Chains A and B, each alone.
Chain A
Amino acid sequence: MNSKYYLSLLLISSLVLIAFIGIAFNRELNPEWKRYQTEYKEFLVKNATDDSTRERAEKIDIGMKQVYIKSLKRSDRCVSCHRGVENPLMADAEQPFRQHSGNYLENHPVASFGCTACHSGQGRAMNTREAHGEEHTHWDFPIIPSQYIQGACAQCHDYEMLRKEGGEKVAQGEKLFSEKGCRGCHKVDGKGGDLGKDIAGMGSRPFAYFSMKHVVGDHNLYNWIMQHFENPRKVVPDSDMRAFLTSEEAELLTNYMLTFRNEEMPRNYTLIKNIILPKTDGESLYRMYCVACHTDGKESIYDEIFERTIPAIMNPAFLKSIEDDYLRKIIKEGRKGTQMTAWKTNAAGLTDEEVDEITKYITRNRPAERPQHFRYKRFGTDAGKGEELYKLRCALCHGDKGKGGKRLLGMNLVFKDTDPEFLAITVRDGREGTPMVAFGKKGVGLKDQEISDVVAYLTKLSRNK
């Protein structure tokens, strides 16, 4: 009863089953790495110069190889293909057989360091695609391209040493990071501005953390960082990041970014002897925290990214009129409503001494002569009249509400803590070297009473804010 049917079904199914078990076995028995190892062995046998070398080459066993390092929690099977990594005979061979470049392995033997501790990639994988963590292999940390590899060195070495011995790129990256004012917006170890993202763990952020939409080439962490340095707004269209770097600088900084990893190397691996304390003199601090926005501080600049004018904080006229205490207060409290960060200890993390140093640096070229006092308090003021005057005289540059803004030459005038005396002096005397002209008797010719009215209007705006 249908037995013929079932017997033929049985026969065909058995043949299919046997065939697939056969090809599956074949696939298991002939993996990629076995091909490489055979090739490696044949190469060594063929190129052996004397009998003992040939004998040794012929004894090379073919099988899975792994470096298991307990303290690093790693099983690196890279050596299953890269068998010549410690063999000087393979110095000029093609990959995957080539000997490791430089003399790095002398102090970093494969047996105790493995491969992925420095190079990343997926150590457990037994095929090139997944071992190198190519795209779509769902591995967050693909093998690090050689131009960024020095980021790995800083896990164990200090920058003093790296600068001298083979870690130039990452050492320069570290220097650039301090000098380009990156910390003005990015926190490192809890210290720095908060306009940008915290740098902590940057080098071990999972792939999915980043938007890869605009990244050219392979979508991975390294290309994202590099291209984001080259042109932040190309990778993240609404980014406010003020990085204007050459490709070389971008590469150095990418190296440095990859030093920020979540995992720490075990203590017996690290060799950090000279911890360089960050410099605390005014100039270094200014470069570290302020320079990204204020540049050299000589001129006020309309900024296309922030869409507002950034004040010239080292302009002589500015320094002449501002008191140290007020300046210090602005640095500490920031300017709410603008990008100016509050730098006090419990906000962006600068100590009072550091703020003092920065203040000293900014005011170092203050002209000796002080402005004539305005004595704002002696006037009875009328904010209504001030508003009319403001609309007539000031709104063109500073905007209708005194907030400056898009395509406006003037800057924001509305702050939480505003100093009327400082404002009045600036209106009266203007600010040399900027488009702000003197509105007092020496210039446009406003009376002190009128100036006071305008200042009263601005103070009122600030209070209502």
Chain B
Amino acid sequence: MNNTSKSGLVKYRDNLMSIKSSFLGSFLRSGKPTSDKSRTAVVVNNFFLHLHGAKTHVNSLKPTYTLGLGLISFFLMVIAFISGGFLMVYYSPATETAYNAVKDINFVVFGGKLMRNAHKWSGEAMIIFVLFHMARIVYTNSYKRGREFNWVIGVVLLILTFVVNLTGYMLPWDQLSYWALVIVANIAAAPKELTDIFGVTQYFDIGGATKEILLGGTEPGQDSLTRVYLLHIILLPLVMCIALGVHFWRIRKDGGLSKPDNVTADGTGIVNISSPEKEGGIFPTHKTYGLMELAKGRTPAVDNDVENTVTSWPHLFVAEIAVFILTLAGVIAYSYFVDAPLKEFANATIPENPAKAPWYFLGLQELVSYSAFMGGQGLPGLAVAGLLLIPYLDREEEHFGVWFSNRQGKLIAVESLIVGATAVIGSLAFVINFGWFRNWWPNIHQLWIIAINPGNLLLGFVVAYSLFVIKRTGSTRMGAISLFTMFLICYVILTYTGTVLRGPNWDFYWSASQWPIH
């Protein structure tokens, strides 16, 4: 009897002593990874890790290939989510209390200012990095071979990034929030310009209706704030998470990150395996994941190029953690030095002059200054449509996963950069110096301006030039490079113009220091 109870206690003691390894084992489900097999098991058995492949191609780990841009965008979102949760504790979405709540976050909440800055800057940095990430996809020719729809999801995520930033901008309920809300509501009401011309506004006021749905009334107020808040903290993050989940899942199903066909670990580029034959499908291989092997058609491949893969644990995860810490360090350092703006309490009687949307929309506001409908909805709509169509209009399979495809691609990119910049600067310089139709013929019908304005002409030029590139080179891929490069440079220069060069009354100034003192 004595022996039995003693052995029970011993067992208990032994279990207690081995908690560390048994807990770790239960957590990892396959013990400490020591062999390639157990390293693989760690990935497959872990909810968070199993989104990754058990093995990762060396090309995906090459810093100069992905530049980590997609990951950085994702991590920025994670930082924004965490800091946003922190801010939500103190924020209160009522027009009387919101401003004071933000002031209190700045003044008395421990670390509140840093958190608010981090939230603001990680959100806005997302816009930049998502655009960079898209540029990487375009220039490395990675929107093909089953990835076409993932590009579409990416464009949707870009739009969501814009909107979630915008809704956040409105929450402090200061002058910036209020007047940005006014501008956005007016852009939402822009179709009125068109319906007015055809005299159907009273029957079919789509612009007015959109505006009222957004504002919860005809003027910004408590209802607008409630709506914007709900969009910002529930609806948009939820949709983003789902879209992002699909985005990631499809990367796996499409065979991991894109890579050139002949990349090798030693960098010689000589493929030393012979590809087996398989009918159907886009991957030149015969073996796929599990059940999918049974089906014909496009399927992800596994055993292709095995020599050039490494176990994801630890190679990939070290890289991911490094990028995460880098992102976090960047956000915290920037937030330490630069404070998120907070102006006077919202005042409906005193318009900001110039009343500006947040910076990432100022390119659009520049276009809106030509025509509300085209600048606010027509042109951005066409630009998004153009982005969505890129993978469907360029279906050349050569040079997959290669930066700029070839030497010609680099030249086309540089050429388009110069041509696009010249076109956009030229059109801006023309408008700033000579004005447009309304300045020349004050009574001209608005329809003329909607049809012919610098924004439309610019878009027309960009499309025409990329078609010209396709004709000249005989390659739709070159057209895609050209189109995207010109889109990017137009966005950058228009945004710069709207942010820095436009002052009170949307007049031109070389810098804000030249603005007339109010």
Contacts and interface: CB of A to CB of B under 8 A. Distances in A.
B336 A212 contact: no
Interface string B222-248: 000000000000000000000000000
Interface string A76-113: 01000000000000000000000000000000000000
Nearest to A17: B329
B375 to A, nearest CB: 27
A206 B107 contact: no
A206 B344 contact: yes
Contacts of A28: 110-111, 114
B61 A2 contact: yes
Contacts of A36: none
Given A2-B63, A10-B325, A208-B518, A124 B310 contact: no
A13 B326 contact: yes
B518 A211 contact: yes
B332 A17 contact: yes
A206 B346 CA distance: 11
B51 interface: no
Interface string B33-50: 000000000000000000
A208 to B, nearest CB: 5
B321 interface: yes
Nearest to A140: B344
Nearest to A210: B518
B517 A213 contact: yes
B197 interface: no
Given A3-B315, A14-B325, A24-B336, A213 B111 contact: no
A125 interface: yes
A16 B329 contact: yes
Interface string A4-19: 0111011001101100
Given A206-B344, A207-B344, A2 B319 contact: yes
Given A139-B344, A212-B518, A6 B336 contact: no
Contacts of B107: 77, 124-127, 130
Nearest to A208: B350
A20 interface: yes
Contacts of B265: 1
B219 interface: no
A23 B111 CA distance: 12
A69 interface: no
Interface in B101-146: 103-104, 107-108, 110-111, 114
Interface string B486-518: 000000000000000000000000000000111
Contact of A20 (B100, B174, B175, B329): B329
B328 interface: yes
Interface string A425-465: 00000000000000000000000000000000000000000
Interface in A55-80: 64, 75, 77
Given A2-B319, A9-B322, A14-B325, A138 B103 contact: no
Interface residues of B, number: 40
B374 interface: no
B336 A20 contact: yes
A1 B59 CA distance: 9
B329 A126 contact: no
A396 interface: no
Given A1-B310, A1-B315, A208-B518, A6 B322 contact: yes
A3 B314 contact: yes
Contacts of B62: 2
Given A138-B344, A207-B344, A21 B325 contact: no
B342 interface: yes
B333 interface: yes
Contacts of A3: 314-315, 318-319
Contacts, number: 99
B152 interface: no
Nearest to B516: A213
A252 to B, nearest CB: 28
B362 interface: no
A131 to B, nearest CB: 9
Contacts of A27: 336
A7 B333 CA distance: 21
A16 B333 contact: yes
Contacts of B104: 124
A24 B344 CA distance: 26
Nearest to B174: A138
Interface string A127-164: 10010000000111000000000000000000000000
B343 interface: yes
Interface string B327-360: 0110011001000001111010010100000000
B58 interface: yes
Contacts of A138: 174-175, 342-344
B350 A206 contact: yes
A411 to B, nearest CB: 38
Contacts of B103: 122, 124-125
In the complex, which of the residues A21, A77, A140 has the most CB atoms of chain B within 10 Å of its own CB atom? A21
A5 to B, nearest CB: 6
Given A5-B63, A17-B328, A17-B329, A24 B319 contact: no
Contacts of A9: 322-323, 326
Interface string A195-230: 000000000001111011100000000000000000
A81 to B, nearest CB: 13
A207 B344 CA distance: 9
Interface in A1-55: 1-3, 5-7, 9-10, 13-14, 16-17, 20-21, 23-25, 27-28
A17 B328 CA distance: 7
A211 to B, nearest CB: 6
Closest 6 CB pairs of A and B: A10-B322, A17-B329, A13-B325, A13-B326, A16-B329, A9-B322
Given A13-B328, A28-B111, A208-B518, 9 more contacts: A1-B265, A13-B325, A17-B328, A24-B111, A75-B100, A124-B107, A125-B107, A126-B108, A213-B516
17 contacts: A1-B265, A3-B319, A6-B318, A6-B322, A10-B321, A10-B322, A20-B332, A23-B336, A24-B111, A124-B100, A138-B174, A138-B342, A140-B345, A208-B344, A208-B347, A209-B350, A213-B518
Interface of A: 1-3, 5-7, 9-10, 13-14, 16-17, 20-21, 23-25, 27-28, 64, 75, 77, 122, 124-127, 130, 138-140, 206-209, 211-213
